[in-house]
Structure 1
Amino acid sequence: MTDIVSPVPASERSKFLRVLLRRKTVLFGLIVLAIFITLAILAPLIAPYAPNKLSIVNRLKPPSAQWIFGTDEFGRDVFSRTIYSARLSLLVGFAVVVLASLIGVTLGILAGFFHKLDAPITRLIDAMMAFPDILLAIALVAALGPSLTTVIIALSIVYAPRLARVVRASTLVIRELPYVEAAHALGISTPHILTRHILRNLLSPILVQGTFLFAHAMLAEAGLSFLGLGVSPEVPTWGTMIAAGRQYVGQADWMTLFPGIAIVLSVLSLQMVGDGFRDLLDPRLRKDL
């Protein structure tokens, strides 16, 4: 039996990209996201100073030609620290999306495809989602110890149930479609059905949810760093920069202003891109575009 999902023709892919880029909000989000990725990758070449270079004589300098974003309480260049912080935020967001997808997609497919596993997995998902995201993340990081690896694991555990619920709901629908029943009747193995017929038809909701999880993970990492539960203090992050700058609000507002703008723009761009993918990949919404 042939697979229900065939490779997307090049013409269809180009049409999809044209429709996607036609939306100004999506185009703006992609441009902003590309700028942050470029800054993060080329940070050693773009940053005028090392992110942890101290210069006490230049502490709390306002933005100027020499100090684009000003300096902090230790004379460190805020601009350099801001673009270096983008590297960590993007790394955490990407790692969380990958790990949370592995956990969430596995749980969602098992719960949606196998009747006996549906109840226990659903109860586990509901129990995890009963806790506020940030509180559960704080509890996990506090239990495991603050570090970059711990933050990624904790946030992956926190956000995996969200993806699992979406995957489970979609799997319940796909499982009852005629081509899946025909595959069962022809004696095709269950792993083959799960990978070739179920998983391939779940790529659209997984892609959409992945962009949203990316944004949530970056925001949560900044929140944990702000509370002192993120990575080591010497590693520049947007959250720790804002936490340090709150003591100088009114005296050196730039210490919190520029990292805050970076967080808002990065999260907003991901949300815009996610909305665009959702509208184009959902047949009910695509016809209105």
Structure 2
Amino acid sequence: MTDIATRPALSEGSKFLRRFLKRKTVAFGVLILTVFVLLAILAPWVTPYSPSKLSIVNRLKPPSGLFFFGTDEFGRDVFSRTIFAGRLSLLVGAAVVVLSALIGVSLGLLAGFFKQFDTPIARLIDAMMAFPDILLAIALVAALGPSLTTVIIALSIVYSPRLARIVRASTLVIRELPYVEAAQALGISTFHIMTRHVLRNLLSPILVQGTFLFASAMLAEAGLSFLGLGVSPEIPTWGTMIAAGRQYIGQADWMTLFPGVAIVLSVLSLQMVGDGLRDMLDPKLRKDL
């Protein structure tokens, strides 16, 4: 009985996965993202050197069999630092998505379901989205002080209005549907209606928007680190590596080339995955696939 019950679910899941990976751009994005995640998880075992190990004798060495991506101005292995910097970027992106989802979904549900909260929350969302994301993030980090925790909090505050606006707009529509009115007439608690009837129907847009926020958070973290407003300088990040390599462009181009390529590939792969999810989860777009 268990096999019979689970077989349809498994077939639906495999069917969705096949259709999702059918597009070459989506499959490429999933492949690149998987490689980055595996490298981040296995970083201590796949890197030949410590990312903080200094070797002045080997400073500014070009890429070779000994140093795959060359070395920086302190003789540190650029390949090892790039891998460990990717681990930090993925951590920041994941943390920002989770925290901004908690803030944005909560505000969006309150604004969309309760009319008395709609106007003040909507005006707050509009006010926050009136500022450019990076400028608001810089202001928050400068006010709170540069650190990994500060960067995550600042970016979560910056990106939560995006989710809040989407959730609010969808909740305003779902709130008026007959099944929600029927649940209210039956005396079901408001919390149960919001979580089981409203939020469940919002998972698709939240998931799609989450992939785009992941990419934006990684790019913003690199930008803040490049400006010296990110984590501590001794911790390798793609932004600090590019900032350090600016002084050696023309002499040691690999110092900026490989971290820059890592940023482009990671952000591009997330955008591809997000586009694929949007096309698969949107009924209107799914008909065209």
TM-score (ref. length: structure 2): 0.96
Structure 1 equivalent of residue 261 of structure 2: 261
1-structure distance, mates of 2:14, 2:195:
26
Q: Give the letter for the 1:192 counterpart.
A: H
Structure 2 equivalent of residue 17 of structure 1: 17
Structure 1 equivalent of residue 77 of structure 2: 77
How far does the alpha carbon of each residue in 1:140-178 deviate from its partner, in whole angstroms, 9 at most, with x for none?
000000000000000000000001001111111111111
Q: Give the letter for the 1:130 counterpart.
A: A
Shift of 1:11: 2.6
**How many equivalent residue pairs?**
282
Shift of 1:12: 2.2
Deviating 4+ runs (over 6 angstroms): none
How far does the alpha carbon of each residue in 1:186-213 deviate from its partner, in whole angstroms, 9 at most, with x for none?
1111011001100111100010000000
Q: Give the letter for the 2:29 counterpart.
A: G
1-structure distance, mates of 2:269, 2:21:
14
The 3-state SS of whatever aligns with 1:22 is: coil
Q: Give the letter for the 1:124 counterpart.
A: L
2-structure distance, mates of 1:113, 1:11:
36
2-structure distance, mates of 1:122, 1:14:
40
Shift of 1:13: 1.9
How far does the alpha carbon of each residue in 1:108-149 deviate from its partner, in whole angstroms, 9 at most, with x for none?
011111111110000000000011000000000000000000
How far does the alpha carbon of each residue in 1:24-43 deviate from its partner, in whole angstroms, 9 at most, with x for none?
11111111011001111111
Please give the residue correspondences for 1:153-172 in structure 2 after superposition, counting only pairs within 5 Å: 153-172=153-172
Q: Give the letter for the 1:41 counterpart.
A: I
What are the ranges of 5 or more consecutive residues in structure 2 without an aligned counterpart? Answer: 1-7
Shift of 1:82: 0.2
1:227 aligns with 2:227: yes
2-structure distance, mates of 1:201, 1:59:
55
1:194 aligns with 2:194: yes
Shift of 1:57: 1.0
2-structure distance, mates of 1:274, 1:45:
30
The 3-state SS of whatever aligns with 2:161 is: helix
Structure 1 equivalent of residue 147 of structure 2: 147
2-structure distance, mates of 1:11, 1:177:
31
Q: Give the letter for the 1:179 counterpart.
A: Y
Structure 2 equivalent of residue 132 of structure 1: 132
2-structure distance, mates of 1:175, 1:278:
23
Q: Give the letter for the 1:284 counterpart.
A: K
Q: Give the letter for the 2:114 counterpart.
A: F
Structure 1 equivalent of residue 5 of structure 2: none
2-structure distance, mates of 1:108, 1:54:
49
Shift of 1:9: 3.1
Identity of aligned residues (%): 82
1-structure distance, mates of 2:65, 2:9:
50
